[in-house]
Amino acid sequence: MCEVCKNVILRKQFCSPQDYLNCLAYLQQLIDSGEFELESATCALDEVKGPDGKWVDDIIGHVIRCRTCGQAFTCSCCTYRGGGSFYKGR
CA pair distance 73, 27, nearest whole angstrom = 10
49 pairs with which residues across the strands?
55
Q: What is the dihedral of CA 37, 42, 43, 44, to 10 degrees?
A: -10
Segment interacting with Zn ion, rule: CB under 5 A, options 1-9, 26-34, 45-53, 56-64: 1-9
Segment interacting with Zn ion, rule: CB under 5 A, options 24-32, 49-57, 62-70, 81-89: 62-70
DSSP run (H or E) holding 26: helix 17-32
Of positions 69, 80, 83, 88, contacts Zn ion by CB under 5 A:
69
Q: Which of residues 3-22 bind Zn ion (CB under 5 A)?
A: 4-5
Regarding 75 and contact with Zn ion (CB under 5 A), the answer is no
Q: Which residues bind Zn ion (CB under 5 A)?
A: 2, 4-5, 66, 68-69, 71
